[in-house]
Structure 1
Amino acid sequence: MSELSFKPNCDDVVSPDFRPYMIETAADYFFVAQNHARVKGFIQTSLSALSLEIMLKSFNAEVSTNAGKINETYKPNKRVKDLKGKAHDLVCLYELIDPVFQSYLFSHSDIDTLTEHRSVFTSERYGYEHEAQGVHTDRLVKLAGTTLCKIIFLYKKFGCKDPFIAHFDVNETYFNYVQHILIFQPSS
């Protein structure tokens, strides 16, 4: 049996500007959402929305200090700043991304998920509020995981040397947190 591997098609994609510390931070939020001992739907959804927000903003961020160093920091570019009150809106952030990256990262159903959850981080992050949803699916959580894997796969393909990116196991993350695979081997 061949080994499973996560290999999205990125033949038509150009190299992004690397923002590895943003991606590492997005990964931290994603893994906290996945691994906390008391995971609740609204917490997973909120942290996944924050993770996606950071990843989306990474495509419109400028280096502000420590360029090329492990502690590189960033600031939003003018396009993100112009969003003002919609700077947390996942659809608005998606629309700021170059179409090449949009089509690589998101399918039509993914865009539906972004649209459904576009304002989670601003309007539904507290489970005790009246406006908060009572039921949460894992669609946004899985989208955050898939997007994380696709971005890191792309960074690796284009030679990002950041230690977090270099040591990140895309296959482990994808097959343990996004697309669970159960393998049955009959006894002989």
Structure 2
Amino acid sequence: MDQSVSYAAWPVEEAWRYYVSSFILEASGEMRVAEVNAALSLEILIKSFFLVETSGSGTSYARYDRGPILSKLGSRAHRLDELAAQLPDDIRNQIFDKGDQDMLKKRGDAFTSLRYSYEENARVGSSSILREIAGEAIPRVVKIHRANQSADPWILEFESIRESARQKHGNRL
């Protein structure tokens, strides 16, 4: 088990929820809001490796602190490429291929640049690429958790959770 990172399971589950919501929003034509949710999904997913558990150890509702790496990033802790760059190389490369990492850089500010569309400097246009990356990254993170002996019920039941979501929302999930 790599001791330099955390294996916080609850945030992975939360990342899944934002991913599913991005899928539903995109299917209803809300592309910009879908991309914000996909970006938030990826942000939470990456941050799950840096969190420091503060209470509720061993429960499904453990609580976490940002930890030193996220605190050091400050306001840049929303940039997907900067977050991913903080991961150990072996973990980052298990989660994201080179093309994904390039897209995280290109669309790394999606959460902050798209969420307030009415602001003067808001980004115009949106893409489904972050949703697609999240859809591939979440199962990879689940696999990493399992390889590190996660006993979290959600991690262990992920395939049935994903299958249930696919039956409800479509096989692309």
**TM-score normalised by the chain length of structure 1:** 0.78
Q: What is the rounded CA distance, in whole Å, between the counterparts of 2:144 and 2:92 in structure 1?
A: 13
Q: Which runs of 5+ in 2 are unaligned?
A: none
Cα deviation per residue 1:50-93 (whole Å; 9 max; x = unaligned)? 01001111111110111111111111111110111211111111
Aligned residues: 166
* Pairing 1:97–2:92 present: no
Partner of 2:171: 176
Which runs of structure 2 are paired with 1:1-188 in the superposition (5 Å)?
A: 17-36=6-25, 38-169=28-159, 172=163, 176-177=171-172
Question: Partners of 2:77 and 2:50 in 1: how far apart?
Answer: 12
What are structure 1's unaligned runs of at least 5 residues?
A: 1-12, 179-188
Higher normalized helix content (fraction of residues): 2
Relative to structure 1, is the Cα distance of residues 60 and 31 closer, same or farther in structure 2, using a 3 angstrom cutoff?
A: same
Letter paired with 2:113: S
RMSD: 2.4
State the one-letter code of the partner of 2:153: P
Q: Which is greater in Rg?
A: 1
Tell me how far 1:14 sits from its aligned partner.
5.6
Deviation at 1:142, TM superposition (A): 0.4
Normalising by structure 2, we get a TM-score of 0.84
Moved more, 139-148 or 13-22: 13-22
Which consecutive segments of 4 or more residues in structure 1 shift more than 6 A?
none
